[in-house]
C-alpha cells in the first residue's frame, strides 16, 4: 500500500473559541499556513472513524439503511463508527460491525484511509474489507440513537442502487466500495 504524503502542519497562533459536542470539537483558530498566510479558520476536530465493506461467503454485501439527523433522511451506507479514545481502527470496526449489522468477520483486509471533509475537518476514516462473515445469534446493543435496517445485496444490486440517483449516498461508502472492488477485481 502506498504511503500518504507527509504532514505539513499549520501553526496555530491563537484559538478564538472551542465547542465540544459528544466526540467532536469545533474550533476557530488564527492559523499560519505553511505558505505563510495568516487567517482565521474553523475546524472540526474528530477522533477518527472506521468503515467496513462486509461481504458474506455467498457474495452478498451487507449494507445499512440508516437515519442521519444532520440531513433528515435515511441513507445507504456500510457499517462504520467513531473511534473511542485510544481505540485501534480495526478494533473499533470489529465492534461496530457486530453492533450495527449483527455479523462478525474472521478475515479483514486494510483498504487504506480517506479524509471525507478536509476543507473543515481533520477526520480520517480507516477502510476495511470484512469477509468470512458469521451471523451472530444475538446482536449486541448499539448506540441508543441508531435507527438501522440491515440489507443484503448482490454486487449488481448495490451498483444499481449507487448509480440510480434515487439513493442518498455518502462519500465514505462510495470510497470504501470502490476500494473493495479494486481488491476483489469486481
- pLDDT at residue 131 in the model: 98
The answer to whether residues 54 and 97 touch, using CB atoms and an 8 Å cutoff, is yes
Residue that has been written with the C-alpha cell 449516498 in this structure: 169
> What pLDDT was estimated at residue 118?
93
Calpha distance 95→103 (Å, rounded)? 10
Of 3.90.79.10, 1.10.10.60, 3.10.20.740, 1.10.580.10, the CATH number of 49-184 is 3.90.79.10
Question: 109: which DSSP letter?
Answer: E
Which residues of the chain have a pLDDT value below 70? 1-2
| pLDDT at site 4 | 72
Rounded to whole angstroms, the maximal C-alpha distance in the chain is: 57
pLDDT of residue 1: 54
Domain boundaries, given as residue ranges, for the chain: 11-45, 49-184
- Rounded to an integer, what distance in angstroms lies between the CA atom of residue 32 and that of residue 39? 7
Question: pLDDT tens digit string along 45-66?
Answer: 999 999 999 999 999 999 999 9
pLDDT given for residue 6 in this prediction: 86
pLDDT tens digits, residue range 78-96? Answer: 999 999 999 999 999 999 9
This model's pTM is above 0.85: yes
* Predicted pLDDT at 2: 59
Amino acid at each position: 500500500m502506498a504511503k500518504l504524503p507527509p504532514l505539513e502542519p499549520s501553526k496555530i497562533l491563537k484559538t478564538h473559541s472551542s465547542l465540544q459536542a459528544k466526540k467532536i470539537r469545533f474550533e476557530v483558530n488564527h492559523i499560519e499556513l505553511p505558505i505563510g498566510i495568516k487567517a482565521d479558520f474553523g475546524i472540526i476536530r474528530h477522533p477518527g472513524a472506521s468503515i467496513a465493506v462486509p461481504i458474506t461467503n455467498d457474495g452478498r454485501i451487507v449494507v445499512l439503511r440508516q437515519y442521519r439527523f444532520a440531513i433528515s433522511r435515511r441513507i445507504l451506507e456500510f457499517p462504520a463508527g467513531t473511534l473511542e479514545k485510544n481505540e485501534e481502527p480495526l478494533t473499533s470496526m470489529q465492534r461496530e460491525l457486530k453492533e450495527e449489522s449483527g455479523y462478525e468477520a474472521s478475515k479483514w483486509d486494510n483498504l487504506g484511509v480517506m479524509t471525507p471533509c478536509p476543507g473543515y475537518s481533520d477526520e480520517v476514516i480507516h477502510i476495511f474489507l470484512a469477509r468470512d462473515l458469521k451471523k451472530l445469534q444475538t446482536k449486541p446493543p448499539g448506540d441508543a440513537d441508531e435507527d438501522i435496517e440491515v440489507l443484503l445485496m448482490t454486487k449488481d444490486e448495490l451498483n444499481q442502487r449507487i448509480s440510480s440517483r434515487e439513493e442518498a449516498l455518502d462519500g465514505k461508502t462510495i470510497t470504501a466500495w470502490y476500494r473493495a472492488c479494486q481488491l476483489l477485481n469486481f
